[in-house]
Structure 1
Amino acid sequence: MKVSKAQVTENRRSILQAAARLYRERGFTGVGVADITREAGLTHGGLYRHFESKDALAAQACECAFEWTLSELQTPDADAGADAGGFLRAGVANYLSPQHRDSVGQGCPVAALAADAARETGAIADAFAQGIGRYMALFARRRPDDTEAAQIEPEDRVRAIAMLSTMVGGLILARATARGLPALSDEILATLRHHLEATWGLEASGTDGSDESRGP
């Protein structure tokens, strides 16, 4: 029976979503084609009707993971407000949260796959680098003074690199300590939230400085 174009599109989307989640959970080398197709509810042979190789699939799955996470970061937090400063407050709070720490398969691909990506070449390495570049540009455009940069200045780039490097490194450390020293894991997240908010003036006005209620 001939498969409709809509079903072909849906099958491809299911494969990419399954691959993006499994790669973040297990790494590039820890996932086989059979794992992905089984997760997507499709046959092994069907995958290569959508992707010319496993590397092509991995590269596009990376793009899918970055796009999903970027869309989440760009959604204004209801409590933080829709301004640029609200975006940065929500981004820091949501990223450095216990919920994000515990949701590897649905979270930031950088924290989950950076070490793997550093060993890759070709399309996978390119897709990963481009994704990080989009993260940097997004955070550079959004300024702590509640404005959005019409033109990104050097100081915007410095802020973006410092913030994202701290967030990614902190999340990796929090995940590495979550089982063995859960109190330390929580402390890492809370300390870095406070540090970034204080460093870049992201504290929400009218609060007592506590972030206990923050999170996705």
Structure 2
Amino acid sequence: MRYPAAETAEKHARILEEASRLFRERGFSGVSVSEIMKATGLTHGPFYNHFDSKEELMAESVLHGFKNTLDGLNATNETAKGRAEYVKRYLSAAHRDAPGMGCTMASLSAETRHEPQVRGVFTDRLKAVIEAVATHFPWPSRRSARGDAIRMMASMVGAMILARAVEDERFSDEILSEVRKGLV
């Protein structure tokens, strides 16, 4: 039985949204296709009507996550104050405590190096985010904007990875706070 195109597109979007969330929460290897489909309210069977493989879904999920990152960036005021608010929002306990709703870079970068089908997409999208950050916010010098953007994003993502990795919540909060202070 064939479904209307709009219904098929809606199911595809639901699968992608749930997969992105679950991958950010538990990693690529921590989630099965069956679990993703169950989270969408669909059976396992239709998965292959939407994706050729789990790896294809992983790559598309990374694209989806980076789109959300760029959308959040574009919704931020293009001022020094906007940049400070962006950093504070990113380096928050709320972001740390909700990886499924957060940044793809902080959640999946370590795993991406083991996934050849995902690395190219991740690389392309990271370059796009760096370029967007470099052009979106004001920097002391246009010539150093790309380097400033790389340092800012690497500091933020690294801080989030470390803050999520430690078992001491006060230390985790301190990591986020110190990096925030260094960037704003």
Give the TM-score of the pair, scaled to structure 2. 0.93
Which residue in the other structure is 1:211 paired with? none
Partner of 1:117: 112
Paired positions, count: 184
**Structure 1 match to 2:12:** 12
1:127 aligned to which of 115, 118, 121: 121
Please tell me whether the aligned partners of residues 34 and 44 of structure 2 are also in contact (alpha carbons under 8 angstroms): yes
Q: CA deviation at 1:31?
A: 1.1
Structure 2 residue identity aligned to 1:57 = L
Residues of 2 paired with 1:131 and 1:90: CA distance? Answer: 22
* Structure 1 residue 84 displacement after superposition: 2.8
Task: Determine the structure 2 residue equivalent to 1:38.
Answer: 38
Taking only the aligned residue pairs, the percentage that are identical comes to 38
The CA deviation at 1:183 is 0.9
Inter-partner Cα distance in structure 2 for 1:27 and 1:8: 26
Rg bigger for which structure?
A: 1
Runs of 4+ in 1 over 3 A off after TM superposition: 143-146
Matches within 5 A, 1:46-125: 46-76=46-76, 82-122=77-117, 124-125=118-119
CA drift at 1:143: 3.4
Residues 16 and 64 in structure 1, CA contact (< 8 A), matched pair in contact too: yes
Task: Structure 1 unaligned segments of length 5 or more: list them.
Answer: 77-81, 198-216
Please tell me whether residue 163 in structure 1 is matched to residue 158 in structure 2.
no
* Residue ranges of structure 2 left out of the alignment (5+ in a row): none
Residue deviations 1:38-89, cap 9 Å, x none? 011111110110111211111101101111122123213xxxxx33323311
C-alpha separation in 1, matches of 2:36 and 2:101 = 15
1:88 partner letter: R
Q: Distance in 2 between matches of 1:53 and 1:143?
A: 38
Whether contact under 8 Å (2:78, 2:137) holds in the other structure is: no
Counterpart amino acid of residue 34 in structure 1: S
> Comparing both structures, which one devotes a greater share of its residues to helix?
2
Q: RMSD of the TM alignment (CA)? A: 1.7
Q: Counterpart in 1 of 2:171? A: 184
Of the structure 1 ranges 51-60 and 14-23, higher mean CA displacement relative to structure 2 is found in: 51-60
What TM-score comes out, normalization by structure 1 length?
Answer: 0.80
Q: Does the CA contact (< 8 Å) of 2:134 and 2:145 recur in 1?
A: yes
Q: Structure 2: which amino acid aligns with 1:194?
A: K
Q: Is the 8 A contact 1:110 1:168 kept in 2?
A: yes
Q: Distance in 2 between matches of 1:74 and 1:94?
A: 14
Partner Cα separation in structure 1 for residue 97 and residue 138 of structure 2: 28
Are the counterparts in 2 of residues 24 and 113 from structure 1 also a CA contact under 8 Å? yes
